[in-house]
């Protein structure tokens, strides 16, 4: 992977005299919004290029994608200035339907864009609309499904596929229209690591075809190593448009623009290595670490282990005890088998695993949303069956993945006050708790705001505050960082860390591995409804082989340090244990 910087750049330009995408001075404002979503964007993309678009939430990435096939300005209401030309033709001149054949657009939300009752019909839908011959459609369906490796799935219902399969199907359904340009808007955001890899593999294969231009919005930097170019958008403007490896080495630029830098690059940057020489992948990192004669300082490493141990000793009494838990959904599908687990007061536990591995099913037993089929779950020494959701809800707070599945009030205050009011607290007490909860999530002064007008990151915080207002002993967070940009993810997790430090027991369900590495103390890896690995995060992440078997992958810095024989969980830890000359 990745030892051929700029190669395709040197090889490609001769191919296309004219760019396939030309964007000139594009400014776009949605109706009813004061700030334009895009301002003065200029961008050229040549045939066969692989361009990644990055940037914080609200930077205009999705608007840019929508401008490529004419959804902007034809579908959305707003004002557009400037011009977008696709293979020479201005999008202003035709309808979305006409450009849909040139630019295939795949959205992040794969649930909402699939609507057929079987896989083959889903793929056929696009070409059907363009009056392609029936025989030709059947041929294209077969080819598109082969390309995303879904052969043999023709008769399956899309609803029964895994996340990665669904997103691949969405890609196939667009490929069947045989577009020259494929634009994927955050295709991997909602996917677990294996699903991400499946989709990325497909895009890597597609870009090998010279005539396919690939534009991908992505915010996980680790996934952009294969790109030719990276374009960074911020506040609707292009702030950077340079070869990918050059951008990835510019740690400061990325951080400034709220994009997560590559951990390996950040580590060597921290050691003062020059920009041009920064390694990017764990492999490159290990090599350079050795070449430069760096060593791991054993004493510092011992100190890390000692701190781990000390923290482990500080935990209180067992709060949640799971014994021989088995659970089957009605209809007999076994979701959990033989799970044993104890959560003690003050812990920070991460439950990880791919989609469908049973991690959410497991934690739903902790607050009584699900009851064991066999075995027992005790909270505070008493069976959950005896307590029920209402009673358990006072001790165990559960923040659901999507804040929009719970927000309903006109003001932030009412939303956060909902739980305490239901529990019959007096007005003064309710007010006190809301103030306290909003302070904890950093939303003081937002009491009178309309929650639906907030950003996703802020809505997520409102959801957390509404749980904290119940003053639970344990807070469960289901995928708290999904759909947030890097800066928002960081601040969300810092918030969770503060909660933990002030005495709350935290359980996070996630597949974002750097979040696990940097924030959690202990990890439980679920696989096919069973506990595959369990232990301190350092220990669990050092078992790379078993993690891969559970479709997970440690973050880059952990991979690199594993290779060096001393698992470090963050760039900071790695810097701490690295011994260099002159220290």
| Closest by Cα among 540, 546, 549 to 520 | 540
398 touches other proteins by CB under 8 A: yes
71 touches other proteins by CB under 8 A: yes
- CB 545, min distance to other proteins, A: 34
Question: By C-beta, is 100 or 227 nearer to other proteins?
Answer: 100
d(CA 45, CA 67): 14
140 touches other proteins by CB under 8 A: no
- CB 33, min distance to other proteins, A: 16
Cβ atoms of 36 and 260 closer than 8 Å: no
Greatest CA separation for the chain: 74
**Three-state SS for 558?**
helix
- CB 267, min distance to other proteins, A: 38
The single residue among 42, 90, 160, 342 that binds other proteins, judged by CB under 8 A, is: 160
153 touches other proteins by CB under 8 A: no
119 touches other proteins by CB under 8 A: no
What is the arrangement of strands in the sheet containing 237-243, beginning at the earlier edge strand? 103-106, 181-185, 213-217, 50-54, 229-234, 237-243
**Three-state SS for 40?**
strand
Q: What are the angstrom distances between the C-alpha of 532 and each of 81, 340, 543?
A: 55, 11, 11
69 touches other proteins by CB under 8 A: yes
Supply 4's token pair: 């051929």
Question: By C-beta, is 6 or 75 nearer to other proteins?
Answer: 75
382 touches other proteins by CB under 8 A: no
The single residue among 467, 513, 520, 541 that binds other proteins, judged by CB under 8 A, is: 467
Which range of residues in 340-348, 418-426, 500-508, 565-573 is near other proteins by CB under 8 A?
418-426
**Three-state SS for 406?**
coil
- CB 121, min distance to other proteins, A: 5
Which range of residues in 28-36, 38-46, 90-98, 378-386 is near other proteins by CB under 8 A?
90-98
- CB 490, min distance to other proteins, A: 25
Which range of residues in 98-106, 206-214, 249-257, 317-325 is near other proteins by CB under 8 A?
98-106
Residue with tokens 């334009």: 36
The single residue among 2, 97, 426, 503 that binds other proteins, judged by CB under 8 A, is: 97
Supply 298's token pair: 């054993």
E strands present in 31-176:
38-45, 50-54, 78-86, 89-90, 103-106
E strands present in 274-413:
295-296, 318-329, 333-344, 348-352, 374-379, 382-383, 396-399
Site string for other proteins, 520-559 (x = CB under 8 A): ----------------------------------------
459 touches other proteins by CB under 8 A: no
E strands present in 38-159:
38-45, 50-54, 78-86, 89-90, 103-106
296 touches other proteins by CB under 8 A: no
Half-sphere exposure of 438 (CA within 13 A, CB side): 21
66 touches other proteins by CB under 8 A: yes
**Three-state SS for 30?**
strand
The single residue among 8, 91, 113, 224 that binds other proteins, judged by CB under 8 A, is: 113
455 touches other proteins by CB under 8 A: no
The single residue among 12, 138, 239, 271 that binds other proteins, judged by CB under 8 A, is: 138
353 touches other proteins by CB under 8 A: no
Strands 50-54 and 229-234: parallel
DSSP 159: G
The single residue among 16, 87, 130, 326 that binds other proteins, judged by CB under 8 A, is: 130
- CB 357, min distance to other proteins, A: 18
Question: By C-beta, is 273 or 389 nearer to other proteins?
Answer: 389
The single residue among 12, 87, 125, 534 that binds other proteins, judged by CB under 8 A, is: 125
Element (H, E) at 167: helix 163-175
- Please give the radius of gyration of the chain, using alpha carbons only, rounded to the nearest integer: 25
d(CA 196, CA 187): 8
163 touches other proteins by CB under 8 A: no
For the chain, the 3-state helix, strand and coil shares in percent, each to the nearest 5, are 45, 20, 35
Which range of residues in 9-17, 115-123, 372-380, 552-560 is near other proteins by CB under 8 A?
115-123
Which range of residues in 119-127, 279-287, 346-354, 553-561 is near other proteins by CB under 8 A?
119-127
The single residue among 149, 345, 423, 431 that binds other proteins, judged by CB under 8 A, is: 423
Q: What are the angstrom distances between the C-alpha of 341 and each of 292, 378, 379, 524, 525?
A: 44, 11, 12, 9, 12
Site string for other proteins, 196-235 (x = CB under 8 A): ----------------------------------------
117 touches other proteins by CB under 8 A: yes
Cβ atoms of 409 and 422 closer than 8 Å: no
DSSP 501: H
Question: By C-beta, is 232 or 475 nearer to other proteins?
Answer: 475
466 touches other proteins by CB under 8 A: yes
Residue with tokens 């009491």: 447
Which range of residues in 157-165, 294-302, 433-441, 546-554 is near other proteins by CB under 8 A?
157-165
d(CA 402, CA 482): 9
Binding site for other proteins (CB under 8 A): 66, 69, 71, 75, 95-98, 100-101, 104-105, 107, 109, 111-113, 115-118, 120-121, 124-134, 137-138, 141, 155, 157, 159-160, 173-174, 177, 364, 367, 369, 389-390, 393-394, 397-398, 400, 402, 404-408, 418-419, 422-423, 452, 466-467, 470
């Amino acid at each position: 992977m990745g030892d051929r910087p700029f190669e395709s750049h040197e090889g490609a330009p001769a191919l296309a005299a004219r760019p396939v995408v030309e964007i000139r001075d594009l400014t776009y404002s949605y109706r009813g919004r004061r700030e334009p979503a895009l301002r003065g964007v200029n961008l050229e993309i040549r045939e066969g290029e692989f361009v990644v678009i990055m940037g914080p939430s609200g930077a205009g990435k999705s608007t840019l994608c929508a401008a490529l096939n004419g959804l902007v300005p034809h579908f959305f209401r707003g004002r557009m200035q400037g011009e977008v030309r696709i293979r020479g033709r201005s999008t202003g001149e035709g309808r979305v339907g006409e450009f849909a054949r040139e630019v295939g657009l795949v959205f992040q939300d794969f649930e909402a864009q699939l609507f057929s009752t079987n896989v083959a019909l889903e793929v056929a839908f696009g070409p059907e609309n363009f009056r392609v011959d029936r025989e030709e459609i059947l041929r294209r369906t077969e080819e598109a499904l082969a390309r995303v490796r879904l052969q043999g799935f023709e008769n399956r219902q899309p609803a029964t596929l895994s996340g990665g399969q669904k997103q691949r199907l969405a890609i196939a359904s667009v490929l069947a229209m045989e577009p020259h340009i494929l634009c994927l808007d955050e295709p991997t955001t909602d996917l677990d690591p294996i699903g991400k890899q499946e989709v990325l593999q497909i895009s890597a294969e597609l870009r090998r075809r010279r005539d396919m231009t690939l534009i991908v919005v992505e915010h996980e930097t680790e996934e952009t190593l294969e790109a030719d170019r990276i374009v960074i958008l911020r506040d609707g403007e292009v702030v950077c448009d340079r070869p990918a490896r050059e951008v990835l080495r510019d740690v400061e630029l990325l951080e400034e623009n709220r994009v997560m830098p590559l951990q390996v690059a950040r580590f060597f940057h921290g050691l003062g290595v020059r920009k041009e020489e920064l390694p990017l992948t764990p492999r490159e990192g290990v090599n350079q670490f050795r070449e430069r004669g760096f060593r791991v300082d054993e004493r510092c490493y011992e100190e890390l282990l000692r701190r781990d141990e000390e923290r482990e000793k500080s935990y209180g009494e067992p709060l949640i005890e799971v014994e021989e838990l088995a659970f089957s959904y009605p209809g007999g599908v076994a979701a959990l088998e033989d799970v044993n687990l104890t959560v003690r007061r003050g812990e920070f536990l991460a439950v990880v695993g791919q989609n469908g591995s049973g991690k959410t099913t497991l934690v739903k037993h902790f607050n009584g949303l699900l009851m064991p089929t066999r075995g027992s779950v005790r909270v505070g020494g008493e069976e959950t069956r005896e307590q029920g959701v209402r009673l358990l809800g006072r001790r165990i707070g559960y923040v659901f993945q999507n804040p929009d599945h719970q927000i309903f009030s006109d003001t932030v205050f009412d939303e956060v006050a909902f739980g305490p009011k239901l529990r019959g607290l007096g007005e003064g007490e309710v007010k006190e708790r809301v103030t306290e909860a909003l302070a904890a999530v950093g939303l003081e002064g937002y009491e009178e705001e309309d929650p639906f007008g907030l950003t996703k990151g802020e809505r997520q915080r409102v959801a957390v505050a509404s749980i904290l207002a119940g003053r639970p002993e344990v807070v469960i967070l289901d995928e708290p960082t999904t759909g947030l940009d890097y800066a928002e993810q960081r601040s969300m997790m810092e918030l969770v860390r503060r909660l933990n430090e002030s005495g709350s027991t935290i359980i996070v369900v996630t597949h974002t591995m750097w979040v696990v590495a940097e924030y959690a103390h202990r990890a439980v890896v679920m696989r096919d409804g069973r506990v595959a690995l369990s232990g301190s995060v350092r220990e669990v992440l050092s078992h790379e082989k078993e993690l891969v078997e559970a479709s997970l992958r440690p973050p880059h810095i952990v991979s690199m340090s594993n290779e060096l024989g001393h698992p470090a969980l963050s760039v900071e830890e790695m810097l701490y244990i690295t011994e260099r000359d002159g220290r």
